[in-house]
Amino acid sequence: MNASMSYLDGNAAAGELSRIFATDVTSAEGQCANCGAKGRFAETHLYMQCPGLVARCALCEHVLLRLVNVRRRVYLDLSGMTYLAFGMDE
């Protein structure tokens, strides 16, 4: 990974993710499939200098989420996370 690449925090993905999720993903808690770190999605390192979004673990930089728009489809890869847990309002 190029250390000079800049990233935003995961909050920057809120608008794009709201197109496919009815709830706020940035407040969900996830676990990195590589190092086991747990945290809010908002704490991830978000890279937007690519055709889509890439969220990486703040501890080990493992890819947690990839979201790419291709024509009229959105491809979402969450395989870098063990889980993503949402708090649901009653």
Binding site for Zn ion (CB under 5 A): 32, 34-35, 37, 57, 59-60, 62
For Zn ion, the closer of residues 39 and 74 by Cβ is 39
- Please return the burial class of 90, using the count of CB atoms within 10 Å of its CB with bins 0-12, 13-18 and 19+: exposed
For Zn ion, the closer of residues 8 and 74 by Cβ is 8
**In the complex, minimum distance from the CB of residue 1 to Zn ion, in angstroms, rounded to a whole number:** 13
For Zn ion, the closer of residues 35 and 50 by Cβ is 35
**In the complex, minimum distance from the CB of residue 15 to Zn ion, in angstroms, rounded to a whole number:** 25
Q: What is the dihedral of CA 63, 65, 68, 69, to 10 degrees?
A: -170
**In the complex, minimum distance from the CB of residue 70 to Zn ion, in angstroms, rounded to a whole number:** 27
Q: With beta carbons less than 8 A apart as the criterion, state whether 52 and 73 touch.
A: no
**Within 13 A of 9's CA, how many CA atoms are on the CB side?**
8
